[in-house]
Chain A
């Protein structure tokens, strides 16, 4: 067994209720998270990512499967005996305790001497830059500060794994960006394995070492942000991560014929029959309408550095192209343009 594996979840299933009303939240999910990794579970709400996190934290017991923490079976270990701490979505700070008492709670419960607790609290509070707030009550702090207290509280006992359940969702955009880099910095400084749950694909792409994309209780793809973005395994992943155009087609003699009848010279890896092409908006160039694929511009949205053009192909299918605003002369709605597709970057998905 690989000793660098922090969390190894094998064939985790979770069913709520029983009989005909039973709801499967997780169906046979297996995942290995390495020591010191920033791992993100990404998916829409209700995909099972929080259930998986709660199984690792110990708040839920999986209906089937086994969870190992550093090689030890913790499937049925109660949460207060797992060296794992959670940053809750709602922060769940103790309202009757001040910041220092909140942060020291875990160590105190572990029976550490008061002097050691005080030292650790000082250290962690300086890590999140909240030293001067040690005597405040949680309700006297702003949302961002409460968030950092929650983080400090979970980091203080130096857990093997830190679980973060959509911790940034309650913050406004500016604060969220700040906290993203803050989290990344804390993770690098402490070397603790982070398992981060979010439905925000941008957050996942910018922060993670690896991402696990989930949908309907299943883990669809695990990979680095680059792998997930550039090589999505299926239409759901491609659609969920960033913007993607989908074109249906058939494999024909090593090339793909799309709805307009045009042949695209994409890279196939043994696919045959019906396929879906996933094309990122930035992989499409617009030019003068001469030979090849042509389309009519139906919508142009100026976004600053980029302009997004929605174009309609001759078979009626619509695709979005993202063009740098100053790279070409602006096209107008109604113009007929030539479409260039960076065929090497196109992903061919099974339909």
Chain B
């Protein structure tokens, strides 16, 4: 009986042990989110900040704009195109990093055990360098007088430099470069566990190379593909530095647009509402993605 009693008292006070984590979750994670949500429904201050009056204006201006002369309401095309560009660029980045990352991860996973560490080291090196510096390095490659254009011109392939800087292509190149390791590492972990004898079994059972890839390899390394895609897609959607430097002022993504509201735009409620929208896009994407990717395999 005393043993049972001891267990009960342990159970009753056990939650205290998780108190530090609880405090961290409530104040450090949920707290700021709640402040963002709260600010989004307040009225904008005269210069910056908010006035403590409830207002739907921040949310209204996420999608709509009001003509300053006749007060007519119309869709905010500029905002929508920023959302659309962000989602489009993030999906493109995810797809491109997957297409580049799969053979890379496959290559590393099929090296002898001794040299794998070296290849993984090469993949992770960029993490050690400041993002700003890496982005400037990409600028040096793609700008009109940069390495790429100089090489193409001197090779006689083009006569005038290709305008890559300050286009979506530059942003895409930059984000692909920055987020590629986040795709390669989970793919590598999945391929490393893959039983390569299954490939022979596939060939033996009349599958072509393509069928082995689609029917055997991809379904089995799917957890790695899902992890890599999420790791790339989420930060891509909220990217700030890369689109700012490579896309210039005109080719904004959501991250830059939000920053604008808290800086020059001086519209904190709109910025807060946009942040919440970004969060919702991420959540909805995750739900849709995991649903779709596990549909064909109930056990995946």
CA distance A105 to B299 in the complex (A): 18
Interface centre among B201, B216, B220, B299 (most CB of A within 10 A): B201
B205 touches A109 (CB 8 A): yes
A94 touches B204 (CB 8 A): no
| Residues on the A chain within 8 Å of B300, using CB | 96
Which residues of A90-114 have CB atoms within 8 Å of chain B's CB atoms?
A: 90, 92-96, 105-106, 109-110
Interface centre among A84, A106, A137 (most CB of B within 10 A): A106
B200 touches A153 (CB 8 A): no
| Residues on the B chain within 8 Å of A78, using CB | 203
B299 touches A88 (CB 8 A): no
| Residues on the B chain within 8 Å of A109, using CB | 205-208, 211, 215
B195 touches A79 (CB 8 A): no
Q: Count residues of chain B with CB under 8 A from any CB of chain A.
A: 20
CA distance A94 to B299 in the complex (A): 13
B297 within 8 A of A: yes
B250 within 8 A of A: no
CA distance A157 to B215 in the complex (A): 18
CA distance A95 to B297 in the complex (A): 11
Q: How far is the CB of B205 from chain A (nearest CB, A)?
A: 4
B280 within 8 A of A: no
| Residues on the B chain within 8 Å of A105, using CB | 202, 205, 207, 215
CA distance A80 to B209 in the complex (A): 9
| Residues on the B chain within 8 Å of A88, using CB | 197, 200-201
When A94-B216, A96-B299 are in contact, do A157 and B201 touch as well, CB less than 8 Å? no
B219 within 8 A of A: yes
Chain B contact residues: helix, strand, loop or mixed: helix
| Residues on the A chain within 8 Å of B204, using CB | 57-59, 79-80, 84-86, 154
| Residues on the B chain within 8 Å of A154, using CB | 204-205
When A96-B219, A96-B297 are in contact, do A157 and B200 touch as well, CB less than 8 Å? no
A110 touches B220 (CB 8 A): no
Which residues of B105-142 have CB atoms within 8 Å of chain A's CB atoms?
A: none
CA distance A255 to B198 in the complex (A): 58
Q: How far is the CB of B201 from chain A (nearest CB, A)?
A: 4
A79 touches B200 (CB 8 A): yes
B197 touches A90 (CB 8 A): yes
| Residues on the A chain within 8 Å of B219, using CB | 96
Q: Count residues of chain A with CB under 8 A from any CB of chain B.
A: 25
CA distance A80 to B220 in the complex (A): 20
Which residues of A53-96 have CB atoms within 8 Å of chain B's CB atoms?
A: 57-59, 78-81, 84-86, 88, 90, 92-96
Task: Please name the residue on chain A nearest to B200 by beta carbon.
Answer: A59
CA distance A80 to B216 in the complex (A): 14
| Residues on the A chain within 8 Å of B297, using CB | 96
Q: How far is the CB of A277 from chain B (nearest CB, A)?
A: 45
B208 touches A80 (CB 8 A): yes
Which residues of B166-203 have CB atoms within 8 Å of chain A's CB atoms?
A: 195, 197-198, 200-203
Q: How far is the CB of B40 from chain A (nearest CB, A)?
A: 43
| Residues on the A chain within 8 Å of B215, using CB | 105, 109
Task: Please name the residue on chain B nearest to A57 by beta carbon.
Answer: B204
Find B206's partner among A57, A59, A94, A106 (CB 8 Å cutoff): A106
When A109-B211, A137-B299 are in contact, do A92 and B205 touch as well, CB less than 8 Å? no
When A79-B200, A88-B200, A94-B198 are in contact, do A153 and B299 touch as well, CB less than 8 Å? no
Find A110's partner among B202, B203, B206 (CB 8 Å cutoff): B206
| Residues on the B chain within 8 Å of A93, using CB | 201
CA distance A109 to B202 in the complex (A): 9
A-side interface residues toward B, CB under 8 Å? 57-59, 78-81, 84-86, 88, 90, 92-96, 105-106, 109-110, 137, 153-154, 157
Known: A79-B204, A86-B201. 4 other contacts (CB 8 A): A90-B195, A109-B205, A109-B208, A154-B205
B-side interface residues toward A, CB under 8 Å? 195, 197-198, 200-208, 211, 215-216, 219-220, 297, 299-300
Provide 29 A-B residue pairs closer than 8 Å at the C-beta atoms, listed in order of the A residue.
Answer: A58-B203, A58-B204, A59-B203, A79-B203, A79-B204, A80-B208, A81-B206, A86-B200, A86-B201, A86-B204, A90-B197, A92-B197, A92-B201, A93-B201, A94-B198, A94-B202, A94-B216, A96-B220, A96-B300, A105-B202, A105-B205, A105-B215, A106-B205, A106-B206, A109-B215, A137-B299, A153-B205, A154-B204, A157-B205
The 5 closest A-B pairs by CB, nearest first: A106-B205, A92-B201, A109-B206, A79-B203, A92-B197
